[in-house]
Structure 1
Amino acid sequence: MPSVRQVSGGRINHLMYSGWIRRAMPAPQVTTRLEDVTSTRTSNQRSTAMINVRRRAALGLIAGAVGVATVTGVTINANAAESTVAPGTAAVAGQSAVVANPSLDIDAALRAAEATFKAAEKGGHRVTVVVLDRSGNVQVQLKGDGAGPQTAESAKRKAYTAASFGQPTSALAGRVTGQGATLRDIPGTLFLAGGVPVTVDGQVVGAIGVGGAPSGDLDEQYATTGTATLR
């Protein structure tokens, strides 16, 4: 098997094969004409220029689309090439699904509660007056000096019952007689006279409940006085 050794002297390496030396073949040289280099360089420059032009045009289109989107309220997704309606616009479109429920406002509730309370004071009775909105939430509660502790709960439940069924509790009392389940089994209701609904154009917007007078008829009379101030 031939041995290979590199000789350090001189620029040209020699290979020694079985005692004789042969000069290594010089590496082939590549000759390139100046015209070819210039032509290639010009072609590359043209290709680069075309790419830059295309990039600028694409960026210009995207910038223009974003500018239009800012004015019209549309968000442009450059990656997905999709447009979506801005959240504000979608909210306006969805307003048709919103239902307005009229309810007694706080000023009217205060007037009704004060009128009811004054009527009870004038009659010489210590009562508690509760005014609810359409959803059964307490808006006003006036507890007179010396009114019993049970009067607040009684007035609230009477008002809740009147608001729920849209009728005075005295008229509803006849529906809870008999055996088996009845309306009185509904939590939060009380079918004793003293609760009166507040209506506007035939629609219930709240209710007034009174508790503490010697009879339910008197409680309801005072509550009716309060509703009269709202007409």
Structure 2
Amino acid sequence: MKTKAILGLAEVNTILDAAQHEAEANQWTITVAVADDSGELLGLRRLDGASPMTAMISARKARTAALSYKETQFFENMINEGRTAFLSAPLEGLLEGGVPVVVDGRVIGAVGVSGVKADQDAQVAKAGIAAVL
């Protein structure tokens, strides 16, 4: 029987705390979402002043990154480079800022961030992930 790493409550809280710290250090108002490997939401934190819309977007970025095993930047780049037919794919959150959490070569979940520029969203997500790896 195989075993796999998972994101437990302690890891989810560590990710949320580290992402919040990164955002606050840069004076960014964001929402960060953490999903399991099936894309289901494990935790979400919307910082004071973040738009309500960022909660939905961050959760969808996390889901897409978890299910695709790819950073959502991959999809944003593909679409921006002219492959607009991909917009009909049954995924949402195709903007940069969703990052898979990879342990021993396996995706165990993902983090999605929304609220600032695309590369800044990704920076916050990666800071959250770095706190647990």
TM-score by length of 1: 0.53
Which residues of 2 match residues 164-175 of structure 1 at below 5 A?
164-175=67-78
Segments of 4+ moved more than 3 angstroms:
99-102
Does the alignment pair 1:218 with 2:123? no
Q: How does 1:5-84 map to 2 (within 5 A)?
A: none
How far the C-alpha of 1:211 sits from its partner, in A, is 0.5
| Counterpart among 93, 102, 113 of residue 190 in structure 1 | 93
Matched with 1:200 is 103
Q: Is contact 1:130-1:208 (8 Å) kept? A: yes
For residue 57 of structure 1, what is the aligned residue in structure 2? none
Structure 1 unaligned spans of 5+? 1-95
Alignment of 1:143-158 (within 5 A): 143-158=46-61
Structure of higher CA gyration radius:
1
Pick the aligned partner of 1:129 from 18, 21, 32: 32
Judged with a 3 Å threshold, the aligned counterparts in structure 2 of structure 1 residues 159 and 216 are, in CA distance, closer, same or farther, namely same
Match of 2:41 among 138, 145, 150: 138
Separation in structure 2 between the aligned mates of residue 189 and residue 152 of structure 1, nearest angstrom? 13
SS, match of residue 113 in structure 2: strand
CA–CA distance in 2 between the matches of 1:228 and 1:103? 15
Query: Any stretches of 5+ residues in structure 2 without a counterpart?
Result: none
Task: Quote the Cα distance in structure 2 between the aligned partners of 1:169 and 1:205.
Answer: 16
Q: Which residue of 1 aligns with 2:83?
A: 178
The answer to whether residue 22 in structure 2 is matched with residue 119 in structure 1 is: yes
Taking the aligned partners of 1:111 and 1:117, their CA distance within structure 2 comes to 10
| Paired residues of 2:58 and 2:93 also in contact (CA < 8 A) | no
1:18-56 deviation digits (Å, cap 9, x = unpaired): xxxxxxxxxxxxxxxxxxxxxxxxxxxxxxxxxxxxxxx
Letter in 1 for 2:29: R
Cα drift, residue 165 of structure 1? 1.2
After superposition, residues 71-110 of structure 1 pair within 5 angstroms as: 102-110=5-13
* Contact preservation (8 Å) 1:195, 1:208: yes
Cα distance in 2, alignment partners of residues 186 and 152 from structure 1: 22
Question: C-alpha separation between the residues in 1 aligned to 2:102 and 2:63?
Answer: 14
The answer to whether the Cα contact below 8 Å between 1:102 and 1:134 also exists between their aligned partners in 2 is: no
Decide which moves more: 193-202 or 102-111: 102-111
The alignment covers a number of residue pairs equal to 131
Counterparts of 1:212 and 1:145, CA distance in 2: 11
